Structure 1
């Protein structure tokens, strides 16, 4: 559980906690952190205001758990979508498309995560650092297998996350749709050029 969140002891308590978390996501996503209130969250969740403090010590505490929950859900979704794929480039393409689809479905993702940096920067940093940690481990394994270019897997992870983040903002958030196929193909060609091992890239250039 996130810091300052109290773990429910019963199934009923867990259901109540989930209702509060979902209500907070909608409130923060629609109105912003500062305009949302504990009373508006509990009213949306259909519980008494005092019930909130059984689970969370403050509005900041539920924001922390909400961002952590979003991050866990995203990482799980990406893992499920890419498990079993044969090559790193297949994983990159499917991972990118899965993220963009996730951002369309989870309409509050960008606003809640972005706003968290102005409430408590550690919440925002934890979200991205955990994503980067998982991504770095995958890229490190790919390097060890000779599938991707040698170098800092951490740097590769953050660069690729930046690409996905701004594509998500441009298309998933602002337009509510996936990018055109041409855009995805262009981005994937860019990613492939950056990740392909130097020897393989040189051999491909000679064949051309």
Structure 2
């Protein structure tokens, strides 16, 4: 997410009006990601966030009223980064299954560079349940839209809906936890290929008995 895009995460009425302000906001959000990722919501502090960001304490309150508020803004910011990572991995006119492979590989690369996203999103379920639900709902909606487009083009079967989108998202989330956060013993492309084979081939034994 660019410096300017970070403004979308701020509360109404506190959007920075200058490039300097946008850079300060970006520093605060980046510092918050490290602070919350390392220490968790309850042990994190505003003072530590501003120290990591190299900004004055007063700068924090220019954009946020509390630790809860910057946490909610950070979740929104990270959701936007996940969306951009998947979007930027796509190329024009890819077949439907290749779209899913590329989008997932993009997410895996992002998660490897920002492992803190898992802890932050997990804590969000208890700190701000509405933002937690919104994060996953919007992600599932994007997958569902891609599935619908694939079906419209005749590349995927009809009848794919919300449950299918959530199932794919769940697979992606936990493969990301295993291969992006816990270890890196397989490349993002290898993991994406594995996930894609599940989508294209399923797990049932073929009628011919081949593996």
TM over 0.5: yes
Runs of 4+ in 1 over 6 A off after TM superposition: none
Deviations 1:134-182 (A, max 9, x none): 2211111111111112114222211111111010111111113435987
Residue 138 of structure 2 aligns with which residue? 130
2:60 equivalent to 1:56: no
Q: Aligned to 1:34, what secondary structure does the other structure show?
A: helix
When normalised by structure 2's length, the TM-score is 0.85
1:4 to 2, 11, 28: 11
Deviation at 1:67, TM superposition (A): 1.1
Contact 1:117–1:124 (8 Å) recurs in 2? yes
Report if the CA contact (8 A) 1:21-1:66 is conserved: yes
Q: Following the alignment from structure 1 to structure 2, what is the Cα–Cα distance between the partners of residues 107 and 167?
A: 13
CA contact (8 A) 1:103 1:172 kept: yes
Please list, as runs of the form range in 1=range in 2, the aligned pairs for 1:1-208 lying within 5 A after superposition. Answer: 1-2=8-9, 4=11, 6-178=14-186, 185-193=193-201
Question: Which segments of 5 or more consecutive residues in structure 1 lack a partner in the other structure?
Answer: 195-203
Moved more, 94-103 or 37-46: 94-103
1:32 to partner: Cα distance: 0.6
Output the TM-score relative to the length of structure 1. Answer: 0.86
Contact 1:81 1:95 in 2 (8 A): yes
Q: Cα gap change, 1:90/1:22 in structure 2, threshold over 3 Å: closer, same or farther? A: same
Q: What corresponds to 1:197 in structure 2?
A: none
8 Å CA contact 2:11, 2:64 repeated in 1: yes
RMSD between aligned residues: 2.3
Q: Please tell me whether the aligned partners of residues 27 and 53 of structure 2 are also in contact (alpha carbons under 8 angstroms).
A: yes
Q: Provide structure 2 residue ranges, at least 5 long, that are not aligned to the other structure.
A: 1-7
Structure 1 CA distance, aligned partners of 2:84 and 2:190? 28
CA deviation map 1:18-59 (0-9, x unaligned): 111111000001111110011111111112212211101111
